[in-house]
Structure 1
């Protein structure tokens, strides 16, 4: 049985037909579905390009095919291309395919609606909360409150009609978007960390290296969801208070010029480094290991991989009270989103307490081990096998229900 998976990732196709990602899930990510299915078709936005960057990684390969959806960025381009997008998405899955929608997703919603009209089943992997995605401060759009209600309501309906639902959180998303009674569910983060992602022991913190504290954060700058603007303002407050601190941001996105200008405006351009995208594995580990404190000031999250990866390096961490972050960090390590004063205070208080930093290092490393590949893979595989079984049963019932023409 083939499984069709929708994704909000954006891919690139070269003239030879190969599909690449500059910074998203590559072939290894999609092969997880092969634990239960014979073939994976990924429906995602794909643009044609003559060549890709040297750090791009292959998406398609053995067992994994990419079904191209017309490329767009942002709501305006989506509306302009919606008809073509809907047509492409509608052709992505045959009636006999299993379908897993990674939601919230415009592409996933189009396929969910089509499957619903045809009486065909679909399963979900809930990876984020649209109610928080459209929270104040995350998006500058006059229809933001309306969009917030609309997309949160849509996800609730999808969860209530899906034949199976997997959530990346342990309880947060489940409480807001419950599955239908009796539908198989699981809590299985998209994260899976190999043994090499973990340091062998926690840190013993005594003070800053070279007399200066290094903060690090990781995330896209395509929107302001990750709260990097809040963190830059907090760094400016810390610097004005005399704390020797600097910030490294890892990631890319169209808001980088805006954030660079913000750092200049606050007089901390020399304290903020925009590193750009960092390949997973050893290059990212070096950046995390060189830092003293990981900060995740997000305005919205599912269960953030970047935070778990930092915890696996035994980094003390601070985060906001959104999404699944409170499932990862101690209450004392959480702050309100969008509040640079509270964030600066939390950073200063934590850095001033070596014993608390050391305890946080040990606690974070232990918690991160729960996201090891050996822990999550069996749970995720069991869910995919249940989806296959449920889809096959539905297909059998559908075949029996169809009339047979004779004579």
Structure 2
């Protein structure tokens, strides 16, 4: 059986027909679906390019292909191409295919609606919250309130009608987007940390003593929902009060020049550096290991992979009370979003207490082990098998001959 999986990732196709992505999810990610299915078809936006951009990695490969949707950016382009997108979505999956929608997703919801109309099952993997992603201060758009309501309502409907739903959080997304009572549900992060992602032991107290605290933050700068502007302001407040601290951000995007100007305007250019995109694996581990504290000042989150990766390196951590972050960190290590003063005070208290940092290091390392490959792979495979079984059952029901009606009486 083939599974069709929708993704909001924007991909690149070269003239040889191969498909590429700048970061993730790459081919290795999609192989996880092969634990229960014979083939994987990815449904995604694709832009054609003449050559492979530097740093890109393959998406397709043996038993994994890509179904191209028209390429668009933003809601305005989506609306202009909605008819073409609708036709492409309808052609992505046949009645005998299983379907998994990685939500939230505008065209993923179109696919779910098509399945409902055909009386066919589908599953969801809920990896984010449109209510938070489209919240004030996260996205600047004149239709933001309407889009927020539309996509939140749409996701609730999709969850209520799905045969199976997995969530990246343990409670947060489940409470906002509940599944039907008879649906198969699971709490399974999309994170897949191999043994090499983990350090052997927590940091000792001596390692936590430092004259200048080195903070690290990780995430895209294509939007401001990661809250890095708030973190820069917190660094400025700390510097003004005499606390020696510096910040390295891992990740790039279109807002980086604005954030660089913000750091300059507050006199902390020398304390804030932007490393750009860092390759996963050893390059990322090396960057994390150099830091003293990982800070996740997000305005919205599902369950942040970057934070768990930092915890797997036994980093003390601070975050905001949004999304799944409170499922990872204790209340004392959390602050409200959009509060540079509260964030600065949290950094000051954490970095000024080596014993607290050492305790957080051990606790975070233990918590991160719950997201190891050995723990999550069997649970994920069980969920995918349940999706396959639901699809097979529906297909059998469609192909089974209808029972004969009552026969008219014969009269001799």
Same fold (TM over 0.5): yes
**Cα offset for 1:56?**
1.3
Does the 8 Å contact 1:10/1:24 carry over to 2?
no
**Cα offset for 1:142?**
2.5
Moved more, 271-280 or 256-265: 256-265
Aligned to 1:36: 36
Aligned equivalents of 1:83, 1:401: Cα separation in 2: 35
**Cα offset for 1:257?**
1.7
The 5-angstrom pairing of residues 37-52 of structure 1 reads: 37-52=37-52
Q: 1:268 to 1:52 in 2, by over 3 A?
A: farther
Does the 8 Å contact 2:209/2:354 carry over to 1?
no
1:211 counterpart SS class: coil
The 5-angstrom pairing of residues 329-368 of structure 1 reads: 329-368=329-368
Structure with greater Cα Rg = 2
**Cα offset for 1:400?**
2.5
**Cα offset for 1:77?**
2.2
Does the 8 Å contact 1:125/1:165 carry over to 2?
yes
Does the 8 Å contact 1:231/1:343 carry over to 2?
yes
**Cα offset for 1:18?**
1.1
Aligned to 1:252: 252
TM-score by length of 1: 0.96
Q: Where does the alignment leave 5 or more consecutive residues of structure 2 unmatched?
A: 405-412
Does the 8 Å contact 2:127/2:302 carry over to 1?
yes
Moved more, 173-182 or 68-77: 68-77
Moved more, 192-201 or 205-214: 205-214
Aligned equivalents of 1:382, 1:36: Cα separation in 2: 8
Q: Once the two structures are superposed, what CA deviation does each residue of 1:12-37 show, in whole Å capped at 9, x if it has no partner?
A: 11111111111121000000000000
Aligned equivalents of 1:236, 1:17: Cα separation in 2: 49
The 5-angstrom pairing of residues 127-138 of structure 1 reads: 127-138=127-138
Aligned to 2:409: none
Moved more, 210-219 or 351-360: 210-219
Aligned to 2:87: 87
Aligned equivalents of 1:228, 1:52: Cα separation in 2: 30
Moved more, 194-203 or 13-22: 13-22
Aligned equivalents of 1:31, 1:82: Cα separation in 2: 30
Aligned equivalents of 2:105, 2:272: Cα separation in 1: 33
Does the 8 Å contact 1:159/1:178 carry over to 2?
yes
Moved more, 73-82 or 3-12: 73-82
1:17 paired to 2:17: yes
Does the 8 Å contact 1:288/1:313 carry over to 2?
yes
2:50 counterpart SS class: coil
Aligned to 1:178: 178
**Cα offset for 1:401?**
6.4
Q: 1:79 to 1:260 in 2, by over 3 A?
A: farther
1:387 paired to 2:399: no
Aligned to 2:408: none
Q: 1:212 to 1:51 in 2, by over 3 A?
A: farther
**Cα offset for 1:88?**
1.4
**Cα offset for 1:110?**
1.4
Aligned equivalents of 2:265, 2:142: Cα separation in 1: 27
Aligned-residue CA RMSD (Å): 1.5
Aligned equivalents of 2:52, 2:242: Cα separation in 1: 44
Q: Once the two structures are superposed, what CA deviation does each residue of 1:204-233 show, in whole Å capped at 9, x if it has no partner?
A: 244778732111111111111111111111
Q: 1:294 to 1:17 in 2, by over 3 A?
A: same
2:400 counterpart SS class: helix
Aligned length in residues: 404
1:77 counterpart SS class: helix
2:338 counterpart SS class: coil
TM-score by length of 2: 0.95
**Cα offset for 1:402?**
6.7
The 5-angstrom pairing of residues 136-175 of structure 1 reads: 136-175=136-175
2:147 counterpart SS class: helix
Aligned equivalents of 1:82, 1:98: Cα separation in 2: 24
Moved more, 266-275 or 169-178: 266-275
Aligned equivalents of 2:325, 2:32: Cα separation in 1: 24
